[in-house]
Structure formats: C-alpha cells, structure tokens
Structure 1
C-alpha cells in the first residue's frame, strides 16, 4: 500500500511545481482551467494557482498519512482528499482543452487509482 502513497505524493509534487510555475508567470495557461487563459495567467488566476498548490499539498499530506509515510491525520482528511481527487480526475478528462486532457487526464486517473488503493488498503 505504501507504494500508492509514494506515487500519489510524487505526482502531487509535480502538480504543485506546475502551479508554482504558472503563478510565477509561465505561459502554460492552455494547460489549466479548461485552457481559458492561453499564455500567462491573469494576476487573479496566478493567486488562485498559489491556492491550488496549497490545496494540492494538503491533499498529498493526507494521502501520505493514510499510507503511513508521515504521522497520522484525522481520517476525514483522507476522504476529503480522495473526493477532490476524483472530482479533479473527472474534470481533467472532460475539459475542452485537448492538451490539458492529454497531459493531466492520465495523471489524475493515476492519482485516483492510488487513492482508491489507499482507501481499500
């Protein structure tokens, strides 16, 4: 079961790095938020990217706790993280942005699978 936690945390780290780069002005807007903002994100969305990165970090922490990688957290944090992961997976598979769907769709499917493995561990 611990392998699912390590995979999840690694992928979350990549997503956090992606969000940090977009917050810093990387021209990757076509790869997020349905491709609504090609190029650099507008300033309010850069702040949103920072918030999204923080949420991702909390999700990774909850999954790592469930896997036994870090200390324990309340069990509801795992279930909340799993719910957000599933919703994100659905959104990334249904987005109108083809590049976003191709890159983040498989990543979020893998996150969902790891989360489900942790749920049934």
Structure 2
C-alpha cells in the first residue's frame, strides 16, 4: 500500500507540473510549438488557450480519479480510474504521433512515464 500511495503522489506531482505548463500557455507563454500539434509558433491564440483551460479541468479530474483508486477523497467509482487511464493512454499516443518533433521529444516520454505509473496503480 505504501508504494501505491507514493506512486499516486508522484502521478499527482507530474499532473501539477503539466497543469503549470497549461497555466503558462493560458498566460501567454510562447510555447505553441510544444503543444496542440505544434502548429503555433509563439503564444497560443484564444482557441488554443481555451483548450489549455479544458486540459486543466481534465487533468484535475484524472488526479482525483487516481486518488479515489486508493480510497482517498473524493472516493469516485472505480470506472473513473479506468477512464483516466484511457485518457492518459490516448494522450500518450497523440503525443508520440504529433507532427511536432519538439512536442514528441517533450511530451512523448513524459506521458509514457505517466501512463506506466497509472497502469501500475490500477493493476496494484
């Protein structure tokens, strides 16, 4: 149980870092090449910033679903954990197949580690 708690906290820490990246994008950080297919050079336009905001909500829900998997608050049903795994899995694939090489190099490995940790938690 102790190892699982540590993994969940590591996952949540990674998610907080990703949320920080999304917040920076919303605030105008010039990192468009590192996200959303790498189509924007510089700060994201309004539509891209809205997508970043939606990503923050989704990431928060993923973190809460994984905390629930270990019996922590908010104690969501088990299916939410599997939904979180599915979203992370899809995101991992999308980050590896993006046309942006910078995005692949940054997010491919990060999302792969996040997916592996998440799978370890749900299969524990």
Pick the TM interval, shorter chain.
over 0.9
Whole-Å separation in 1 of the counterparts to 2:82 and 2:50: 26
1:15 alignment partner, one of 10, 13, 18: 18
Q: Do the aligned residues in 1 keep the contact of 2:36 with 2:48 (CA within 8 Å)?
A: no
Does residue 93 of the first structure (1) align with residue 96 of the second (2)?
yes
Q: Which runs of 5+ in 2 are unaligned?
A: none
Equivalent residues in 2 for 1:46-61, closer than 5 Å? 46-61=49-64
What displacement does 1:69 show?
Answer: 4.5
What displacement does 1:16 show?
Answer: 0.6
Q: Do the aligned residues in 2 keep the contact of 1:19 with 1:50 (CA within 8 Å)?
A: yes
What displacement does 1:65 show?
Answer: 1.7
Alignment partner, residue 40 of structure 1: 43
Does residue 67 of the first structure (1) align with residue 64 of the second (2)?
no
Query: In the TM superposition, what whole-angstrom CA distance separates every residue of 1:23-68 from its partner, at most 9, and x where no partner exists?
Result: 1111100000110111010112111111111111111111122134
Q: Which runs of 4+ in 1 moved over 4 A?
A: none
**Aligned residues between the structures:** 121
Whole-Å separation in 2 of the counterparts to 1:102 and 1:120: 28
Alignment partner, residue 106 of structure 1: 109
TM-score w.r.t. length of structure 2:
0.91
Q: Which runs of 5+ in 1 are unaligned?
A: none
Q: Do the aligned residues in 1 keep the contact of 2:34 with 2:103 (CA within 8 Å)?
A: yes
